[in-house]
Each structure stands twice: as C-alpha cells, then as structure tokens.
Amino acid sequence: MDLFVFPRWANKTVHLAGAVLGVAPLYLIGFVWYGASPKTVSVGYAPEQPVPYSHALHAGELGIDCRYCHNTVEQAGVAAIPPTETCMNCHARVRTTSPKLEPVRSSWQTNQPVEWLKVHDLPDYVYFNHSAHVTRGIGCVSCHGRVDQMDVVYQHEELSMGWCLDCHRAPEQHLRPPAEATNMAWEPPEEQAKYGAQLREQNHINPPTDCSTCHR
C-alpha cells in the first residue's frame, strides 16, 4: 500500500521552485543595477541647506557670475565652496538682520564654516577636473542645468559613467566658446552640433575615453 505524505500536485512545486531560483538572481541583479544607478538615486537630489540660498536670485536675477563664488573652477579640479567672507562681502550691508542669514553671521563671528551640503558628489573612485572642462568650452549648464533658474539647486544630470562617455565621444554637442562657459543663457549662432564641431577642430579637442582618464 502506497502512502503519500503530500498530494500529487505538490510535485509541480519542484518545477516552480526551479523556475523561481533561475529567474531570481537575474531579477536581483537588474534591481540592484537600476536601483543603485546614478539616474535612479541622484537625479533630482536637492538636500536642505543650512541657509536657503537661491541661485535663481543671485545668479539669475542679480546676474552674479558663477566664478564669484566658485572662484577656483578655472584653475583647479574642484569648484570651491565659497567661504563665509564671500557671502559677507554683500551681506555685511545687505539684509543684515534676516533670520535666514543667521548661520552666515554666526559663521562670520565664530570663524567656523557654514556646513553646506554637497549636491553633485561623485564617488571617491572618480576623478573629475573642473578646469579641464570649463577652459575648453564646456558650460556649467551642460552638467548642472539652468542653475540660474533654481531656487533650490538639485542634481540635473545623472553623472553616470555612460553619460560622461557620451560627451567625451561627441563633445561637439556641448562645446561653446570658453569665455561663455558660465553664461547660462548662451545660445549657439547656428545648429549646436555643427558649431561645436567647428570649435572642436579649431581648439583640437579630443577627450580621452580610456579608463585612466577618470579612474586614477
């Protein structure tokens, strides 16, 4: 006499389990790859800063050049975060009692920096040089978007390896005269790809695409 502990249909669960175990690793890899990609976790990132600084007001309405605050962008790899002294050049006389500016005044009095939060923060294994891009005609807007229209700065582009390589392979899509690098409203005099191709040839721009360019 045969004794069955489980019903016959339970045999199908073996095949079902095999299918699940076969697909699950692929699903997990896809989930992690997409879920952890810069496009998913970084685009739109806009941390709350200790001071509600509006780029739309300062860079847009008042027309302050990017380099006034980020004054190392043409000479160094890093676009410096402005010291409190830069803020106080104006705010020692402008809106001197504004509650929103209390962290700036406190920083000035205590000689402790304002703890700004970095918005565009590349991984430690990525090397990026601002001066190499700005001085060759890559505008701030190509990577940061229309910051002059942002009350709160957010990450506009994905800044992934593929995104960077797309530009290195076809820089003419973004090239402009270096003098216009910080001009957010600049427009090419003709179709961008054609004009950029002229600048690329004229200025001998051939961005490398080997691994050591960004991973050193």
5 domain residue, yes or no: no
> Amino acid identity of 206?
N
Based on the domain organization, do 181 and 137 belong to the same domain?
yes
105 domain residue, yes or no: yes
Based on the domain organization, do 139 and 126 belong to the same domain?
yes
Based on the domain organization, do 57 and 162 belong to the same domain?
yes
Please give the pLDDT value at position 40: 66
pLDDT per residue as tens digits for the range 73-112:
999 999 999 999 999 999 999 999 999 999 999 999 999 9
Based on the domain organization, do 25 and 76 belong to the same domain?
no
Based on the domain organization, do 99 and 203 belong to the same domain?
no
Q: How many domains does the chain have?
A: 3
Let me know: does 106 contact 50? Beta carbons within 8 Å: no
Please give the pLDDT value at position 105: 98
Let me know: does 158 contact 137? Beta carbons within 8 Å: no
97 domain residue, yes or no: yes
7 domain residue, yes or no: no
Let me know: does 196 contact 173? Beta carbons within 8 Å: yes
Based on the domain organization, do 86 and 75 belong to the same domain?
no
- As given in the structure block, the two tokens for residue 41 are 């976790």
Which residue positions in the chain have pLDDT lower than 50? none
Based on the domain organization, do 204 and 145 belong to the same domain?
yes
Based on the domain organization, do 155 and 198 belong to the same domain?
yes
Based on the domain organization, do 31 and 109 belong to the same domain?
no
Residues in Cβ contact with 115 at an 8 Å cutoff, skipping those fewer than 6 apart:
50
Neighbours of 70 (CB within 10 A): 19
pLDDT per residue as tens digits for the range 198-211:
999 999 999 999 99
Based on the domain organization, do 18 and 56 belong to the same domain?
no
Please give the pLDDT value at position 23: 73
6 domain residue, yes or no: no
Rounded distance between C-alpha atoms, residue 54 and residue 3, angstroms: 77
1 domain residue, yes or no: no
Please give the pLDDT value at position 129: 96
Based on the domain organization, do 174 and 76 belong to the same domain?
yes
Based on the domain organization, do 75 and 104 belong to the same domain?
no
Domain span including residue 29: 13-39
8 domain residue, yes or no: no
23 domain residue, yes or no: yes
